[in-house]
Amino acid sequence: MPLPPALPVSGSTRRRWLAQAAALTGAVALPAAPVRAAEATPLRIGYQKSSTLTLLLKSRGVLEQALAPRQIAVSWHEFTSGLPLLEALNIGALDLSADVADAVPPFALAAGAKLTYYAIETPSPTAQAIVVRKDSPITRVAQLKGRKVGFAKGAGAHYLLLEALSQAGLSIRDIEPAYLNPADGRSAFENGAIAAWVVWDPFLAAVQRQSGARILVDGTRIAAYRRFYLAATPFAQRHPEVLQRVYEELQRAGEWVKKNPAAAADWHAPALGLDAAIVAAANERRSYAVRPVDTESLAEQQRIADAFSGAQILPRRVAIQESPVWRPA
């Protein structure tokens, strides 16, 4: 069964998601080394433009070379956001997902998706923040009371806002929410239509450098902001050895990005449509340290799920511990 959207979306948007996912079902990759089509096992990987480590593997043909001897044919499929990517995993149109923000898996699981956690990036709490304009009189989160705040509904930024408000003695009912994607959020922020914007890198680095936005509070001691990698559970069960190799290559990619910040920024900037200096600033705040999924990261997944269900944003309560977890050898 297709995964019903956890967030309200228009009929046209949902049809576009499903059409994209359905189109992937018959996709065939061209591996770096010859693989006989009759014997090849497909490995369909979904990613976004911001999927730094996965894009690095794609650009270098690393997985094609590593997996060709195992008769694995790799194909790559780009998505614009995390929720439709996980929907494609659930309906069998993808096998692996690149990283998604920590708030995304609970929404997919609440809608019944059969997903396996297979890796995380360690916390990057400063890679998302609540920002105000440089001339704003607002200096504390408590001063957001009664004001309009922009953020993407269901994103990690949404969870950051919920927790920051709670620590300031407020709730989401004390502000005027404006649900905006990053492009619309940037426009509303710069035009003064919202008093504050909750956003993540590289959009955060861009608005800081280009508009002089001031950070009101970031995720430090509020929201850890881990990135999660997921697999379709049937694929994870059938091919643990493939997950092992992908995991190892993601680790190597993360180490390269942190050891070569200038080269990594120069490489990724054109794909993002940003200056290399902005990408470098964003990469500085991102850990890119790929690790096994541990109990601490799953505990925070549960806290995120509980926060969203408590705010009546999730359709039902999610028990994260019921989701399978692949662990490296």
Q: What Å distances lie between residue 290 and 141, 252, 286, CA to CA?
A: 32, 9, 11
DSSP state of 10: -
Angle at 14 between CA 110 and CA 47, to 5 degrees: 75
Mean pLDDT, the chain, whole residue set: 89
Q: What is the tens place of the pLDDT at every residue in 155-171?
A: 899 999 999 999 999 99
Q: What is the mean pLDDT of residues 252-272?
A: 96
Q: What is the tens place of the pLDDT at every residue in 63-101?
A: 999 999 999 999 999 998 888 898 999 999 999 999 999
Amino acid occupying residue 245: R
Q: What Å distances lie between residue 302 and 35, 160, 296, CA to CA?
A: 42, 15, 10
Q: Say if residues 161 and 197 touch (Cβ distance below 8 Å).
A: no
- Residue 285 lies in domain: 11-123+226-322
pLDDT at residue 37 in the model: 52
Element at 204 (helix H, strand E): helix 203-211
Residue where one domain finishes, among candidates 218, 245, 264: 218
Please report whether residue 4 resides in a domain.
Answer: no
Please report whether residue 329 resides in a domain.
Answer: no
Three-state SS at 101: strand
Q: Are 307 and 213 contained in the same domain?
A: no
Under the banding of pLDDT at 50, 70 and 90, the label for residue 191 is: very high
Q: Are 87 and 59 contained in the same domain?
A: yes
3-class secondary structure per residue, 210-229: HHCCEEEEECCCCCCCCEEE
CA-to-CA distance for 60 and 268, rounded, in angstroms?
Answer: 13
DSSP state of 325: B
Element at 262 (helix H, strand E): helix 261-272
CATH number of residue 317's parent domain: 3.40.190.10
Sequence-distant (6+) residues with CB within 8 A of 324 are 116, 117, 233, 236, 237
Handedness of CA 310, 311, 315, 321 (dihedral sign): negative
Please report whether residue 19 resides in a domain.
Answer: yes
Three-state SS at 307: helix
Q: Are 157 and 27 contained in the same domain?
A: no
Three-state SS at 274: coil
Please report whether residue 132 resides in a domain.
Answer: yes
Please report whether residue 1 resides in a domain.
Answer: no
Q: Are 188 and 46 contained in the same domain?
A: no
pLDDT at residue 119 in the model: 98
Query: Is pLDDT above 90 for 264?
Result: yes
Residue where one domain finishes, among candidates 192, 218, 244: 218
Phi and psi at residue 86, to the nearest 5°: -70, -30
Number of structural domains (the chain) is 2
Q: Are 246 and 214 contained in the same domain?
A: no
Q: Are 56 and 187 contained in the same domain?
A: no
Reported pTM: 0.85
Please report whether residue 328 resides in a domain.
Answer: no
Q: Are 198 and 105 contained in the same domain?
A: no
CA-to-CA distance for 174 and 49, rounded, in angstroms?
Answer: 34
pLDDT at residue 38 in the model: 55
Q: What is the mean pLDDT of residues 129-150?
A: 98
Q: Are 260 and 194 contained in the same domain?
A: no
Query: Is pLDDT above 60 for 9?
Result: no
Q: Are 95 and 66 contained in the same domain?
A: yes
Q: Are 176 and 290 contained in the same domain?
A: no
Q: What is the mean pLDDT of residues 202-230?
A: 97
Angle at 141 between CA 224 and CA 225, to 5 degrees: 10
Q: Are 159 and 255 contained in the same domain?
A: no
From 142, 284, 148, 268, select the one nearest 208 (Cα to Cα).
284
Residue where one domain finishes, among candidates 162, 195, 218: 218
Query: Is pLDDT above 90 for 21?
Result: no
Q: Are 141 and 62 contained in the same domain?
A: no
Two tokens, residue 155: 């994103």
Under the banding of pLDDT at 50, 70 and 90, the label for residue 36 is: low
Q: What percent of the chain has pLDDT over 70?
A: 88
- Count of Cβ atoms closer than 10 Å to residue 212 Cβ: 11
Please report whether residue 3 resides in a domain.
Answer: no
Please report whether residue 298 resides in a domain.
Answer: yes
Query: Is pLDDT above 70 for 25?
Result: no
